[in-house]
Amino acid sequence: MSENVSPLLEMHYISKHFGATKALEKVDFVCNAGEVHAILGENGAGKSTLMKLIAGVLQPTQGQLCVDGQNVSLNSPQAALKHGLVCMFQELSLVPDLTVRENLLLGSPGAGIGWLSGDRLGRTQDILARIDGAQIKMGMRVADLTLPQRQQVEIAKAIMKRPRLLILDEATSALSASVVDRVFELVREERDNGTAILFISHRFHEIEALADRVSVFRNGQRVETFMKGAYDYAEIINMMVGQKIEELFPAKIPADSDAEIVLDVRNFSWDGRVHDINLSVRRGQIVGLGGLDGQGQSAFLMGLFGLLRKTEGTTAIGGASTDINSPKQAKRQDISLAYIPEDRKTEGLILDQSIRENLELAALGRSDLDAGDMALYAGSLDQLALKHGGLDLPVSSLSGGNQQKVVLAKWLALKPRCLLLADPTRGIDVKTKTQIYAILRKLADQGTAIVLLSTDYEELIQLCDETHVFFEGEIVASLTDDDLTPENIIAATLNVASKSRAAHA
């Protein structure tokens, strides 16, 4: 970061109230040109409201915003863009039925025929290539892109506009580690060219890798701003939630090694991308799946739940061999699997429908259950401490953490024998993560078998009885007890051990 930084954006005595709710209260905040400024805080701390004020999506109840020392009124996203303020929100803004090119035109004042050509088109394609998105073509429909590819398009769309201040809200949540590294290279280049970067992430290693300065928010107020390295991880967690790091994870209780095997998978393979997976899960056991994104873990879980066609191998539930060819079959009472998908917004929820309607989705088609009986869900809602203003509100009105609780609640109400989770805490604040950890521990203690895919190795270590690390569609390491360490997980994730053995063979 340059030593000669100057304030690009200043916020003085900013408050934003929604009725009696004080989302932000008397906040002073400064963002300098030529720096990456990380914003930390749990959901509800005020981060998203702060970003929406800067992006012109919301206007403050009181207070003043200044750009380059001059008072400004950011009464629309177009007004913010005129000052060079560009935001990539966590909730992707792309329109699925439009092409990549058409989406790039959206939100660009004066854009029309010929606008995305020449320098702009070349710059956009260069940005995509630099973040491992060269295979994304302008004529592709966004609906046909994977979630990571959509996120790459969002990043390119934001940087293409040559912002003076760029807001990245969970911009890397769906990206693999190698692509994140490339994105960070691009962000550092933008910073070195004088762009101010506001960076929101729940991944502390990303903050450590990228940020120059950090601001912590809690309960709608800025708690403290400091240079990176001034506080350690434990101290920052305490600032964010008033809770020590050792309190985040519940005590691990080893599963009974003689307990019934609930799920037993032999030689699972699919489409040349997943190869000969052998794995078993006992009652009360939490089994982790680790590895970089795209190494076969997600496909394995989807295949177990009947979402993929032409899978190979055998699956036994409670000792009885079964072929699971659809989600409807997987959730049948005699099988009783539940699946929490990776992308809650597109795969786990129908955002325009109410909380109540979303809760009913998992029970549909179960002849032994009345999907519309709210008594069915009462226990899981209480267990998850779901905060909402009424079950008839659209689920889109909830925070990301509470949306994830709805996804969990609809399945927990069915009391599954085995719970399959794909990165269930991705993009969720620390406090909600802690609540989910406690729920998983309680379910395991009650006898539920759990398979947990996670890109956070602390979750794999602190929650799981054993962890299987995937690399190129295969399990390359199975770690338990004292072998379940960050060093061993990272080595297996990169397949270092296997390469080493091959070198000495």
Question: To the nearest whole number, what is the mean pLDDT of the chain?
Answer: 88
- Which residues does residue 221 pair with via DSSP β-bridges, in sequence order? 218
* 51 token code pair: 């970003």
pLDDT one-digit tens code per residue, 345-403: 888 999 999 999 999 999 988 888 888 888 888 888 888 888 788 899 999 888 888 89
User: pLDDT grade, residue 5 (50/70/90)?
Assistant: low
Tell me if 37 sits within 8 A of 222, measured CB to CB.
no
pLDDT digit string, tens, across residues 102-120: 888 776 655 554 555 556 7
Q: If you average pLDDT over residues 37-61, what whole number do you get?
A: 89
Q: Which pLDDT band holds residue 428 (cuts at 50, 70, 90)?
A: confident
pLDDT at 502 over 50: no
Please report the pLDDT score of residue 2 as a whole number.
Answer: 44
For the segment 292-345, what is each residue's pLDDT rounded down to a tens digit? 777 899 999 999 999 999 999 999 999 999 989 999 999 999 999 999 998 888
Contact predicate 176/183, CB 8 Å: no
The CATH H-level superfamily of 7-245 is P-loop containing nucleotide triphosphate hydrolases (3.40.50.300)
Identical topology for domains 7-245 and 261-336+416-504: yes
More confident residue, 268 or 501: 268
Residues in CB range of 156: below 8 A, 6 or more apart? 104, 124, 127, 128, 131, 133
Residue closest to 272 by CA, chosen among 304, 299, 306, 302: 299
Res 477 pLDDT > 80: yes
Distance CA 455, CA 353 (A): 30
The pair of structure tokens assigned to 363 is 């029970």
Long-range contacts of 234-238 (CB under 8 A, 24+ apart): 236/40, 236/204, 237/430
Calpha distance 196→2 (Å, rounded): 11
* Sole residue written with tokens 């890109």: 455
CA dist 265 and 490 (Å) reads 25
Any idea what the Cα angle at residue 441 is, between residues 438 and 443, rounded to 5°?
Answer: 110
Tokens of 258: 């003689």
Strands 274-282 and 286-290, bridge-based pairing: unpaired
Give the pLDDT of residue 118.
Answer: 56
Per-residue model confidence as pLDDT tens digits over 207-250: 999 999 999 998 889 999 999 999 987 788 788 876 666 678 89
| Domain 261-336+416-504 classification at class level | alpha beta
Given a cut of 90, whether residue 16 has pLDDT beyond it is: yes
CB atoms within 10 A of CB 259: 14
- Cα separation, 250 vs 18, whole angstroms: 35
Share of the chain above pLDDT 70, in %: 92
Q: 165-169 and 7-18: which strand pairing?
A: unpaired
| Domain boundaries, given as residue ranges, for the chain | 7-245, 261-336+416-504, 350-415
Task: List the beta strands (DSSP E) in 219-285.
Answer: 221-227, 261-270, 274-282
Say how far apart CA 309 and CA 326 lie, in whole Å.
9
Kindly tell me if the per-residue pLDDT of 493 is higher than 90.
no
DSSP state at residue 99 = B
Q: What are the pLDDT digits (tens) for 249-270?
A: 898 888 888 999 999 999 999 9
Flag whether pLDDT at 500 surpasses 60.
Answer: no
The beta strand positions in 137-187, using DSSP E, are 165-169
Please enumerate in sequence order all residues whose Cβ is within 8 A of that of 502, keeping only pairs 6 or more positions apart, or say none.
Answer: none
Say what the pLDDT of residue 293 is.
Answer: 76
Q: What does DSSP assign to residue 359?
A: H
For 110-160, the pLDDT digits (tens) are 555 455 555 677 888 899 999 999 999 989 999 999 888 999 999 999 998
Q: Which sign does the torsion angle of CA 226, 229, 230, 236 carry?
A: positive
Average pLDDT over residues 168-188: 89
